[in-house]
């Protein structure tokens, strides 16, 4: 097992206090990408010293690798963010690219023929697997082979489970998939997809009376549930499937590298922490759920270690967007925990809390342990980064918004790797923002997502400092809380950034 | 699977030290202390019912010093485990703002979580929808939850739904449904339901049945000659029963100027925080208008579910063609004499008067809120006044002594704002 034999050398180099020299030739480390759902910047202890939720495994991972403090999800909601992660391209450039699927969702946002992150790695010889939540869209059909893409319970009832699911992970570069179409425990279809089928179809209505009752559990809609679908243990099933994949991979194809994309249900509402995690924190059910996510990260790292893969695996942990409304307003009031700290805004919003996310990478021998980077980076950048690592050549019509972060991770970057950053809020192409250096321009008024004039977010509304302006301009170094809109006082900066935004929309890319 | 990292011991130690320190300061008898310690131990082991009991003890000072923070902490422990009554406890704390900062969206979410299993939470959830607390107003949904709560055995919810259907406030008027719900509430032994049922019987001319209902209501909780204006709702309903028994005769007689007056007014079931608009709608309906309490509120600029400024009420009355006048009296004895003289004049002339009472609940500290209701009669010999209060059960009638009226009829908020000019405010019908 050639690859495994290299490990002791790498370990000894790391222990000696130095880093392994960067090979000129491409390498092919295993890749483990763990994506949390709705995990906020302030939900992780090593990002928030006032966090009420212990995250020892994430903290340890940061200690063993690099912690990015200015990392961003491309969008502030699940579906477009995951599209961008998989393609290295901003979702607003795709048709219907601002949508968020419910139920089975679909059709797939990823256009047929587009090179994806897993497809690129497969071309480089990787075994690829996705375990967990997909949520980029797929196509199921009814008995007459008509596609079903409606939300709601009635659509689920029409599914013909004998037919192949199209447009899912297997059609976009993954060799293996086990997971769910959309949010696993939120809406309509409560069943696992294995490959391109639902082997155990739902048979009965979801009985919500037996599920946990608390304010973090309200986001669970009616639906049909399969007999093997454990509403409160979905993440434990995903963990087991990832373990199985890793063990099988080591057993059957030890000479091939793998790419495992593990996308958890945690910590998307409803907060159904597994039975072994309930009451394990003093931060309520959602705190327990965050803690469970952290534990899962630790378990996957332990599994890598057990299989002798830990030192030859490039690990990335991040989140698809900021924390959800209900968890924010309740955690702040109930437990004094702020999942968006220190930023303004939350999931759906254009403000930092909507898209500035935790991002931790670990790659022994290549990334200095305990390092921190304040480079402006985005989840779209994983594709170009892994292309650089593995020697893949990105065609011009792929990964249009992806930048290679390898120089940053290796501590060699002396300049920003990104000229600017694009993000899209809940309103999709109508709520874009652009960041360049200290300046951030929001091409819309207001949050771009949540309403702050009523309901639970009203207490967190800030006064409009330039109420008649059609957009917002903030200087993040001087004003990280995005409290002073400089739109009217800095027209030149606004014009420059708006022109840049228009140019990147017209050109269809930000990568040169 | 491997067990999750054991974080609890350290956290528990910190917490235990805090709670035991609190416990040690209690001055309860040894038996109570043992009882409390046993409860504490059960709570500490994670038993949600014990955690809730502990929360109630800390809230009420049962065998331990009152400690709102500890009450909320233990209630959260139980609520986090999905204990329905604990969820309701936390939700109600947020709704009232009694032990925590008032936060109605949070309250709503707690009630939603518990409403399927807790009749009290279902009732409170109905309150939120009906009164626009933490959500957009949805009276139909409010009624739906009250009826669900009633089906679960919640008498007050059944009575609230009965009153809404009887007055047609927020829902189409449905006397038959109102009757059935009032009977359900009465059968559940709810004093408010008995008051409503009694009024329906009274209106139908079945005085014996009305007397029986009100007698039963009056026996459910302690009553006095008259009730204090600020008392728990069950006690208020019982007292209302006693007052209605006393008023049966007066309600059937013609007023005798300077001796007694009774001016019949319609009663509208008041939504949360909507006393001002409801009292004014009642006043307008008395004069032949058709407006509901919520529609009156919508004529005012403040959002549904929030208190209403008296200036806005006066503006709103003009919008519906009413001709009311704001009159005020000073807070001293002379002012009260003048005020009551005005009351009797108006009532003798067959016109009720809208007044504002001071508010003494926990929700609005600082006295900037009040409670608006009408005075619709008096009994000179006993120096009593008859109120038509939208906050109590249909028909809203209750008695108040002149002494209590003197104490409560005052608006500290307006008084402070207007240099005492509005210390005893009232709306009277402007007579050309």
The residues facing A300 across adjacent strands are none
d(CA B213, CA B206): 11
Contacts of A334 in chain B (CB under 8 A): 76, 90, 106
Q: Which residue is it, tokens 């919810």?
A: B157
The answer to whether the beta carbons of residues A343 and B119 sit under 8 Å apart is: no
What CA–CA distances, in Å, run from A20 to A368, B299, B310? 10, 74, 77
CB within 8 Å: B113 and A278: no
DSSP A195-236: TTB-SS---EE--GGGS--STTS-----EEE-TT--TT-HHH
* Residue spans of beta strands (DSSP E) within A355-438: 359-362, 371-373, 377-378, 421-424, 432-436
CB within 8 Å: A455 and B134: yes
Give the pLDDT band of residue B276 (cuts 50, 70, 90): very high
B277-308 pLDDT, tens per residue?
A: 999 999 999 999 999 999 999 999 999 988 89
Residue B421 pLDDT > 80:
no
Which tokens belong to B87? 């969820």
Q: Of A414-423, B8-17, B404-413, give the range with the top mean pLDDT.
A: A414-423
Q: Which residue is it, tokens 């995005």?
A: A482
The residues facing B170 across adjacent strands are none
DSSP A84-150: HHHHSS-GGGSTTTT----TT--S-SSPTT---HHHHHHHTT-EEEEEEE--S--BEE-TT--EE--
pLDDT for B22: 38
Which tokens belong to A6? 């290299």
A159: helix, coil or strand?
Answer: coil
CB within 8 Å: A214 and B87: yes
d(CA B314, CA A286): 47
The answer to whether the beta carbons of residues A45 and A290 sit under 8 Å apart is: no
Q: Could you tell me the residue ranges of all domains in chain B?
A: 256-429
pLDDT for A412: 95
H/E stretch holding A260 reads strand A258-263
Q: What is the DSSP letter of A311?
A: G
Which fold is adopted by the domain B256-429?
Answer: Cathepsin B; Chain A (3.90.70)
Which tokens belong to A265? 């249900």
CB within 8 Å: B76 and A455: no
Residue B35 pLDDT > 90:
no
B387: helix, coil or strand?
Answer: strand
Contacts of A276 in chain B (CB under 8 A): 1, 3-4
d(CA A87, CA A75): 13
Question: Which among A70, A52, A476 has a CA at the least distance from the CA of A283?
Answer: A52
The answer to whether the beta carbons of residues A318 and A35 sit under 8 Å apart is: yes
Which tokens belong to B263? 């001016």
Cβ-nearest to A213 among B1, B87, B135: B87
CB within 8 Å: B106 and A334: yes
d(CA A249, CA A263): 19
CB within 8 Å: B106 and A333: yes
Domains and CATH numbers, chain A: 27-418 (3.40.720.10)
pLDDT higher for B271 or A185?
A: A185
Q: Is B100 on the interface with A (CB under 8 A)?
A: yes
The answer to whether the beta carbons of residues B235 and B247 sit under 8 Å apart is: no
Give the pLDDT band of residue B423 (cuts 50, 70, 90): confident
H/E stretch holding A314 reads strand A313-319
Contacts of B3 in chain A (CB under 8 A): 276
Which residues of chain A are at the B interface, by a Cβ-Cβ cutoff of 8 Å?
54, 56, 208-209, 212-215, 217-218, 236, 276-282, 284-285, 291-292, 295, 299, 326, 329-330, 333-335, 454-456, 459
Helix ranges, B30-174 (H): 30-44, 48-60, 68-80, 84-96, 104-114, 119-131, 139-151, 155-167
Best mutation site among B80, B111, B134, B304 for testing chain A: the one with the most A CBs within 10 Å? B80
pTM: 0.83
| Residue partners of A163: CB distance under 8 A and separation at least 6 | A140, A141, A145
Residue B352 pLDDT > 50:
yes
d(CA A430, CA A434): 13
B75-125 pLDDT, tens per residue?
A: 999 999 999 999 999 999 999 988 999 999 999 999 999 999 999 999 999
H/E stretch holding A286 reads helix A284-306
pLDDT for A33: 98
DSSP H helix total and E strand total for chain B: 19, 7
How many CB atoms within 10 Å of residue A149?
16
d(CA B256, CA B348): 8
pLDDT for B28: 53
Bridge pairing between strands B370-379 and A223-225? unpaired
Q: Which residue is it, tokens 């228009």?
A: A502
A282 CA to centre of own chain = 26
pLDDT for B414: 60
The answer to whether the beta carbons of residues A270 and A37 sit under 8 Å apart is: no
Contacts of A279 in chain B (CB under 8 A): 8, 46, 80-81
d(CA B373, CA B362): 20
d(CA B264, CA B267): 9
The answer to whether the beta carbons of residues A323 and A353 sit under 8 Å apart is: yes
pLDDT for B62: 84
d(CA A347, CA A328): 10
d(CA B124, CA B95): 9
What CA–CA distances, in Å, run from A368 to A67, A303, A308, A409, B19? 10, 22, 20, 8, 45
Cβ-nearest to B113 among A215, A236, A333: A215
Residue B19 pLDDT > 70:
no
Q: What is the DSSP letter of A270?
A: S
d(CA B178, CA B184): 10
Contacts of A335 in chain B (CB under 8 A): 76
d(CA A472, CA A441): 6
H/E stretch holding A442 reads strand A439-442
The answer to whether the beta carbons of residues A20 and A13 sit under 8 Å apart is: yes
Q: Is B365 on the interface with A (CB under 8 A)?
A: no
pLDDT averaged over 10-residue windows placed end to end, chain A, 512 residues = 36 34 66 98 97 97 97 98 98 94 91 96 98 97 94 91 96 98 94 97 94 91 96 98 98 96 97 95 95 98 97 97 96 95 98 98 97 98 98 97 98 96 97 98 97 92 96 98 98 98 97 94
């Amino acid at each position: 097992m050639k690859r495994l034999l290299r490990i002791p050398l790498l370990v000894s180099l790391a222990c000696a206090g130095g880093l392994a020299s960067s090979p000129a030739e491409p390498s092919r480390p295993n890749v483990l990408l763990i994506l949390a759902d709705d995990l906020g910047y302030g939900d992780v202890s090593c990002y928030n010293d006032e966090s009420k939720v212990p995250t020892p495994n994430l903290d340890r991972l940061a200690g063993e690798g690099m912690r990015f403090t200015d990392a961003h999800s491309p969008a502030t909601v699940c579906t477009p963010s995951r599209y961008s992660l998989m393609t290295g391209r901003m979702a607003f450039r795709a048709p219907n690219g601002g949508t968020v699927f419910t139920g089975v969702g679909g059709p797939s946002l990823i256009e047929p023929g587009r090179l994806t992150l897993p497809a690129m790695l497969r071309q480089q010889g990787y075994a690829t697997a996705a375990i967990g939540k997909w949520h980029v869209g797929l196509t199921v059909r009814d008995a007459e082979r008509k596609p079903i893409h409606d939300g709601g319970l009635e659509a689920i009832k029409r599914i013909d489970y004998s037919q192949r699911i199209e447009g899912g992970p297997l059609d976009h570069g993954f060799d293996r998939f086990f997971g769910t179409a959309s949010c696993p425990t939120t809406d309509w279809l409560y069943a696992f997809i294995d490959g391109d089928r639902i082997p155990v179809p739902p048979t009965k209505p979801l009985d919500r009376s037996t599920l946990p009752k608390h304010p973090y559990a309200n986001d669970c809609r009616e639906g049909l549930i399969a007999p093997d679908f454990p509403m409160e243990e979905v993440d434990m099933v995903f963990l087991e499937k990832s373990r199985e994949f890793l063990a099988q991979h080591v057993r059957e194809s030890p000479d091939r590298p793998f790419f495992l994309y593990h996308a958890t249900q945690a910590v998307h509402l409803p907060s159904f922490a597994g039975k072994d995690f309930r009451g394990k924190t003093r931060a309520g059910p959602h705190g327990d759920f965050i803690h469970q996510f952290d534990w899962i990260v630790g378990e996957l790292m332990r599994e890598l270690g057990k299989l002798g893969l830990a030192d030859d695996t490039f690990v990335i942990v991040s989140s698809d967007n900021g924390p959800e409304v209900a968890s924010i307003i309740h955690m702040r009031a109930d437990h004094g925990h702020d999942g968006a700290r220190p930023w303004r805004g939350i999931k759906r919003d254009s403000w930092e809390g909507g898209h500035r996310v935790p991002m931790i990478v670990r790659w022994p021998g290549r990334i200095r342990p305990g390092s921190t980077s304040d480079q402006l980076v985005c989840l779209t950048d994983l594709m170009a980064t892994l292309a650089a690592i593995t020697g893949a050549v990105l065609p011009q019509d792929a990964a249009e918004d992806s930048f290679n972060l390898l120089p940053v991770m290796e501590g060699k970057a002396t300049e920003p790797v990104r000229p600017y950053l694009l993000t899209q809020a809940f309103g999709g192409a109508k709520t874009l923002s652009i960041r360049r250096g200290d300046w951030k321009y929001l091409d819309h008024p207001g949050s771009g997502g949540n309403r702050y004039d009523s309901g639970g977010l009203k207490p967190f509304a800030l006064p409009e400092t330039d109420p008649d302006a059609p957009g917002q301009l903030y200087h993040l170094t001087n004003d990280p809380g995005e409290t002073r809109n400089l739109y009217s006082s800095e027209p030149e900066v606004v014009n420059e950034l708006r022109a840049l935004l228009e140019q990147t929309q017209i050109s269809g890319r930000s990568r040169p | 699977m491997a067990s999750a990292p054991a974080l609890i011991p350290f956290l528990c130690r910190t917490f235990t030290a805090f709670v035991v320190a609190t416990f040690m300061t209690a001055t309860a008898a040894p038996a109570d202390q043992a009882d409390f310690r046993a409860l504490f131990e059960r709570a500490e082991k994670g038993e949600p019912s014990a955690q809730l009991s502990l929360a109630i003890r800390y809230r009420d000072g049962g065998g331990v010093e009152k400690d709102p923070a500890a009450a909320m902490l233990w209630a959260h422990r139980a609520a986090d485990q999905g204990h329905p009554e604990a969820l309701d406890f936390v939700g109600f704390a947020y709704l009232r703002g009694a032990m925590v900062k008032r936060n109605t969206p949070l309250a709503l979410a707690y009630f939603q979580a518990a409403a399927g299993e807790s009749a009290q939470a279902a009732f409170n959830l109905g309150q939120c929808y009906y009164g626009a607390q933490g959500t957009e107003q949805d009276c139909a949904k409010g009624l739906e939850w009250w009826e669900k709560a009633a089906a679960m055995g919640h008498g007050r919810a059944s009575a609230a739904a009965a009153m809404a259907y009887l007055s047609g406030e927020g829902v189409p008027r449905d006397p038959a449904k109102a009757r059935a719900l009032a009977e359900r509430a009465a059968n559940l032994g709810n004093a408010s339901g008995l008051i409503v049922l009694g009024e329906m019987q009274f209106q139908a001319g079945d005085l014996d049945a009305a007397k029986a209902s009100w007698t039963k209501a009056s026996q459910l909780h302690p009553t006095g000659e008259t009730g204090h204006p600020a008392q728990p709702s069950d006690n208020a309903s019982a007292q209302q029963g006693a007052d209605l028994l006393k008023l049966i005769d007066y309600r059937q007689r013609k007023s005798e100027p300077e001796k007694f007056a009774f001016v019949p007014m319609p009663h509208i079931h008041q939504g949360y925080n909507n006393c001002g608009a409801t009292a004014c709608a009642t006043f307008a309906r008395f004069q032949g208008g058709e407006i509901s309490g919520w529609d009156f509120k919508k004529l005012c600029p403040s959002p549904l579910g929030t208190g209403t400024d008296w200036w806005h009420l006066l503006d709103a009355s003009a919008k519906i063609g009413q001709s009311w006048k704001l009159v005020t009296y000073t807070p001293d004895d002379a002012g009260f004499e003048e005020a009551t003289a005005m009351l009797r004049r108006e009532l003798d002339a067959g016109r009720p008067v809208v007044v504002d009472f001071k508010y003494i609940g926990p929700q609005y500290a600082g006295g900037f809120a009040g409670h608006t209701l009408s005075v619709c009669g008096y009994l000179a010999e006993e120096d009593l006044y008859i109120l038509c209060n939208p906050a109590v059960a249909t028909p809203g009638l209750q008695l108040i002594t002149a002494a209590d009226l003197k104490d409560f009829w005052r608006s500290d908020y307006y008084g402070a704002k207007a240099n005492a000019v509005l210390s005893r405010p009232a709306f009277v019908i402007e007579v050309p």
